[in-house]
Structure 1
Amino acid sequence: MKIVLAYSGGLDTSVILKWLTEKYHAEVIAYCADVGQAEELSGLEEKARATGASRCVISDLREEFVRDYVFPMIRAGAVYEDQYLLGTSIARPLIAKRQVEIAREVGADAVAHGATGKGNDQVRFELAFAALAPDLQVIAPWREWEFTGRADLIRYAEEHGIPVPVTLAKPYSMDRNLFHISYESGVLEDPWQPPPAGLFRLTSDPEEAPDEAEIVDLDFEAGNCVAINGQSLSPAAVLSALNEIGGRHGIGRVDIVENRFVGMKSRGVYECPGGTILRFGHRQIETLTLDREVLHLRDSLLPRYGELVYYGFWFSPEREFLQAAVEQSQKFVTGTVRLKLFKGTLQTLGRRSPHSLYHPKLATMEADQGAYDPRDATGFIRLQALRLRTLARQQQRR
């Protein structure tokens, strides 16, 4: 039997790699998707082989991740439960897609993942596998093995000489990519307890951020950020640069209790500096360039789009349907927004666009210049008030 394992080198997948070789007596190919984990990839191939993998495949997916997954989601303005920018959620479909491709290349019988039996990721991975490769067997060790928690895994790793980046004192589960870092488990499972001071990796404490604000110009074309301060950058480079800028000023820390797809509430702490800036800036250009009804209609779809990403339905006809509508709305979302970053806050200083629907002659509070006749409002208000007057008179009769 040949299995392709989505491998990160963290606690769960390190133990899973060893466990698969013992349980299934299988050849295990460790696969890691480079979506921006930075130093976490150091020594990964050697570690995978030492733990029992026949080989380790590391795929650089950073540009594809931002271009084909993050940017479409930003164009949609997606967010889950009004707070979570979906950093972990949006990476899973791409990781699963490449995993299926590798399974085909090596002639594997099965794919495996390290998602827990209580989390959302198991759903995300397996829905992607179902959409892309329904014939492949899916192995989910957390739903099969005898271990009951991370403490068991840490002990197993110690017994088998597997180095892991967590301890019983700091058993945090961390997921990192170019878009964000998430933290769960340990003391974070108590929603009353604040995150430990040394937890954060991408962002400085807003109170300790620079005392001088930083001004940043973002250029957008058809809904995508293509340049920062006049310098053209690739999608991945845009996000990397904004992570650095935002992190310096303490932008993008989120501490939430969210509703998991599987039915329970969980507490998650996130850092998303670049994504926070990107989404905020994109919205400012939309305020200039989107027609009112298009903007309102698109916004009415945001909760549904966010749910589809969070639940794992990226490769679904309904998400593709919504995406097509989003793309239609973004054709003229082009222009520049100027932002001020200061101690964890974002402020808009200006925005401009060659496709702006804002016209000073219409909006001015000064003397009328012929573009708008205030007398037209009389009939407009009468018609809008018709049903209200009718209702009020009926109630008076009662």
Structure 2
Amino acid sequence: MDLKQLKGLRVGLFTSGGLSSTAVAAWLAENGVDVTCYVADIGQQAPMPAGELATRLSEHGLKSRAVDLRAEMAGTALDLVTYQATYEGGYWNTTGASRAVLVSGLGPVLRADGCDVLAHGCVGGGNDQSRFARYAARFTPDLTVFTPWTEAWMLERFPTRTHMSTYLSDLGYPKELTDWAAYSIDGSLAGFSHESDALESLATAPASLEPLMTVWPQDAADEPGTFTVRFEGGRPVAVDGTAVAPLDAMLRANALGGRHGISLRTVVENRVNGTKCRGVYEAPGLDVLGPCLDALYQACLDKPSTALLRRLSATLGGAVYEGRFHDASGRAAAAGADLLAAGVSGTVEATLYRGNVHVQRLLDLADAPGTARQTRFTHGGHHWITQAGQGATV
């Protein structure tokens, strides 16, 4: 799409406070495009909270609207836990997960506001361009998707991120929104990713990076912390004896995990476009809840079910990363994982200490059908007895 075409349409721009999306918003508005910035609150606090960002954009003459999607983001984050849906290196791809939340959550708002175009500021040819395209086709097929950084006329105006930063600085935008020429973050209440010019070199240690949700293990609390979580059907329903909704579960797990240095992973991953890229990822709540539920799966699922869940987890981890979480294959894999998780309930007690999660006890387990634990030493030590079922000698 060219600028002339955009001037005749109402554009809804997903704006996170990132350098590229903010530059797009300011420049389109300056050139007479009817653009509204939609700021989704998915629990991110950087570069600034969603409400503050919407206010700052409005102060600079941009139409903006904040939309609270924290509950939806928390629900999707806990889907990842239930499905054990990690990606390469065992990390939780919270960026890919958030793209589904943004399009499914903001799409109806754009439509209700009369928007014709869904726009975003993601890098042309990158992972997120592909993710947004897939989810827009799934959730907002009636809206045209505008990807600025695949258009020659936008690239000519802003050939580098430094040009974007200078442009916004000259317009008086705050440093919190402009000082990102060589660094990029993406975040939600589920986790944050960090990329930069320095991190692109595999010879550079990430030690200078400042985490946003957790701390480096050596800086964590001196004393271990305890965490008790009750799962029912593979979903957390109580934390430390208090019933929780998904958002509460995530916030409490994030706070404790962050205090104890849980979750900093450096990964060189295979990207959607066939390249490799290095990033640093933090998701303390997921890295607390995930191992706790995995311990329940180990205890409660029979061998074939466990093997099947592992395969489904790998499929779903890839689907989240590639923006296929809501494709037919992703929905089928999720339905299978839900079926396996449905019979798995119990309470997990864990100790957190300097980057490690140690599961201590499993209590009040509800086994999936067909499982039976065996005991030996509690029956004299010379033969096995099934603990579940009829207690027959094996």
* Fold-level similarity (TM above 0.5): yes
Corresponding residue of 2:383: 368
Corresponding residue of 1:107: 114
Distance 1:45 1:235 in 2: 25
Deviation at 1:183, TM superposition (A): 0.7
1:11 counterpart = 2:25 = no
Deviation at 1:82, TM superposition (A): 3.5
1:326 counterpart = 2:337 = yes
Q: Which of 79, 83, 94 in structure 2 is aligned with 1:87? A: 94
TM-superposition CA deviations, 1:313-349 (whole Å, max 9, x none): 1221111111111111011211011111111111111
Secondary structure of 2:208 counterpart: coil
1:41 counterpart = 2:55 = no
- Per mean C-alpha deviation after superposition, the further-off stretch among 363-372 and 118-127 is 363-372
Deviation at 1:135, TM superposition (A): 2.7
1:216 counterpart = 2:227 = yes
Distance 1:313 1:169, change over 3 A: closer
Corresponding residue of 1:316: 327
Is the 2:239–2:249 Cα contact (8 Å) retained in structure 1? yes
TM-superposition CA deviations, 1:133-184 (whole Å, max 9, x none): 2231111111111223211211221233233426668731111111101111
- 1:259 counterpart letter in structure 2: N
Q: TM-score, normalised by structure 1?
A: 0.88
- Per mean C-alpha deviation after superposition, the further-off stretch among 58-67 and 106-115 is 58-67
Q: Which of 236, 243, 248 in structure 2 is aligned with 1:232? A: 243
Corresponding residue of 2:104: 97
Secondary structure of 1:286 counterpart: helix
Q: Which of 276, 283, 286 in structure 2 is aligned with 1:272? A: 283
Distance 2:29 2:268 in 1: 37
Distance 1:301 1:161, change over 3 A: same
Is the 1:9–1:164 Cα contact (8 Å) retained in structure 2? no
TM-superposition CA deviations, 1:48-107 (whole Å, max 9, x none): 2244433x221111112212x122221111111142211111111110112221221011
Corresponding residue of 1:2: 10
Corresponding residue of 1:359: 373
TM-superposition CA deviations, 1:332-373 (whole Å, max 9, x none): 211011111111111111112332445343687812266566
Aligned residues: 371
Is the 2:312–2:336 Cα contact (8 Å) retained in structure 1? no
Distance 1:142 1:199 in 2: 28
Distance 2:385 2:124 in 1: 65
Distance 2:200 2:384 in 1: 61
Q: Which of 69, 73, 87 in structure 2 is aligned with 1:61? A: 69
Distance 1:370 1:108, change over 3 A: closer
Corresponding residue of 1:379: none
Query: What percent identity do the matched residue pairs reach?
Result: 30
- 1:361 counterpart letter in structure 2: T
User: Structure 2: 5+ residue runs without aligned partners?
Assistant: 1-8, 387-391
User: Structure 1: 5+ residue runs without aligned partners?
Assistant: 375-398
Structure whose CA Rg is larger: 1
- 2:127 counterpart letter in structure 1: N
